[in-house]
Structure 1
């Protein structure tokens, strides 16, 4: 039997995130204004036919796979290929607070413009107008500017993904992103879930940081952004 995280998008949209996804006949997608990810129960030609019929022309989706993606490019336009490392925090920190923890504030709808601006600048991953609906986004502000943020995203029970971990270039080196990330992890753990995350494999610095707070690499895989023609 395969592990939940071997097909995390499918398990997320059929368990913890089912309220913000559309699922039919073994395929599904998140709401377009929340996230681009498409979940597929069994990756094959038939499932791609079903996915093609589920979404409108022009929609961009992100598909995860382990080896090769046999794409019919007459129907799908390749947009971006990403080499991704999946990490799980099986060794939770004994202390979730840092000197910056008292600066952390919850992020709400009023902060969406600043969240979109920061994620567009730092590119931690897809972040849309209503990505905040995944819940539990927090940030640190310096002189009214959003200096760092993090939140949660995919929720394949019993796991919860830590996502959108980023800090503004003007405020790096101060430990803000780490503080916010630990705060999100604390909430995940208190709710009885296991934190996990995804990082571009080329980002050695981020991987080293995540290892320092209890994460270990579980697997390496690929995500392709594609668009329905």
Structure 2
């Protein structure tokens, strides 16, 4: 039996993120200025046809699979293939507070240019002009410059994704990522949701950090960036 998170994009856009998604029956996609992710209730040829019809030519989307899935090359062009681990928060931490927690500030629309600049540099995943509408992004500043951030993204009820965890290369090693993650995790758990996240399987350092604050690998999955032809 499939776990809810095996199809987390569909679960998110049809439940917790329904208000920022475009849906057509059993297929859907986030609004293009917010996130690239698209999903479907069941992965079959008919739903791929519906998704193709829903999207304009040239739209780039992200699809998630539990195994390598061949797409119709006449309709979809795979541009980037990511081998990831999906991790779920299972082991409670002793405290959500670290010495760096006092530095954390909420991020608002005025910070979006700096958020885009930081994510473009560090590449934690796609971050667009309106990605902040997922809500609850937080950052740490040095000399009024955003140097670290984290927030929430996909919300497949009862789970909530921790996302956009990144630190400027010049400010790593100070525990900022951990402090921000714990801050976001506390907000999620205080609202009776379960934190989860995604990380490249090749990123051993990040996996080690996430395991140290209670996450465990649930499964391996693939995320493809795909262009609709």
| TM-score normalised by the chain length of structure 2 | 0.98
The separation in 2 between residues aligned to 1:96 and 1:159, in whole angstroms, is 18
The separation in 2 between residues aligned to 1:201 and 1:75, in whole angstroms, is 29
The alignment partner of 2:99 has SS state of coil
Q: Which residue of 2 aligns with 1:192?
A: 192
The separation in 1 between residues aligned to 2:33 and 2:200, in whole angstroms, is 23
Task: State which drifts further: 17-26 or 150-159.
Answer: 17-26
The separation in 1 between residues aligned to 2:101 and 2:68, in whole angstroms, is 42
Instruction: Note the C-alpha offset of 1:2.
Output: 2.1
Q: C-alpha deviations, 1:167-209, integer Å up to 9, x for none?
A: 0001000001111111000100101100000001110000000
The separation in 1 between residues aligned to 2:162 and 2:47, in whole angstroms, is 28
Instruction: Note the C-alpha offset of 1:70.
Output: 2.2
Instruction: Note the C-alpha offset of 1:25.
Output: 2.2
Q: Which residue of 1 aligns with 2:141?
A: 141
In the alignment, structure 2 segments of 5+ residues that lack a partner are none
Tell me which stretches of 4 or more aligned residues in structure 1 moved more than 2 Å: none
The separation in 2 between residues aligned to 1:133 and 1:71, in whole angstroms, is 31
Q: Which residue of 1 aligns with 2:63?
A: 63
Instruction: Note the C-alpha offset of 1:15.
Output: 0.5
Q: C-alpha deviations, 1:131-174, integer Å up to 9, x for none?
A: 00000000000111111000000000000000000000010000
Please show how residues 130-209 of structure 1 align to structure 2 within 5 Å. Answer: 130-209=130-209
Across the aligned residues of Structure 1 and Structure 2, the Cα RMSD in angstroms comes to 0.8
* 1:25 maps to 2:25: yes
Count of residues in correspondence between the two structures: 229
Q: Which residue of 1 aligns with 2:217?
A: 217
